[in-house]
Amino acid sequence: MKFSFDECVKLAIENPAAFEQYRKQLLEREIQRSNAQNQRRLKGLQFKMDMERRKSKTPMASCLKAFSLMMDYFYDRHLPVVNNCVAGQGVNSIIKNNKKADIVHFPD
């Protein structure tokens, strides 16, 4: 099952039910490929997205809600870390806790 955007567009136009089934299979496959710790969270997130799609009256409303959920996640989880780095707070603790990071020093 290889993803092709053009084929998905064609399938969505010609057979929306088959497209929806294909979309669910792709999502489930990617969730299963995730590590075990993330699978529960991803399934919950997918459920939430599916419910929002179902509640939306138009495809555009569904798209805007999905975008809003993604931005909420970004602002709640990632922006505080970015802001702390920019402000110079917590940078050393982030570097110390991230043992996989390589710091490359550039000459002045």
DSSP letter assigned to residue 78: I
Q: What is the pLDDT of residues 16-37, one digit of tens each?
A: 999 999 999 999 999 999 998 8
What's the pLDDT score for residue 104? 75
62 CB burial (10 A radius; 0-12, 13-18, 19+): middle
Q: Between 107 and 52, whose confidence is greater?
A: 52
Tokens of 26: 């792709």
Assign 71 a pLDDT band (cuts: 50, 70, 90).
Answer: confident
Where b means 16+ CB within 10 Å and e means fewer, 42-60 reads beeeeeebeebeeeeeeee
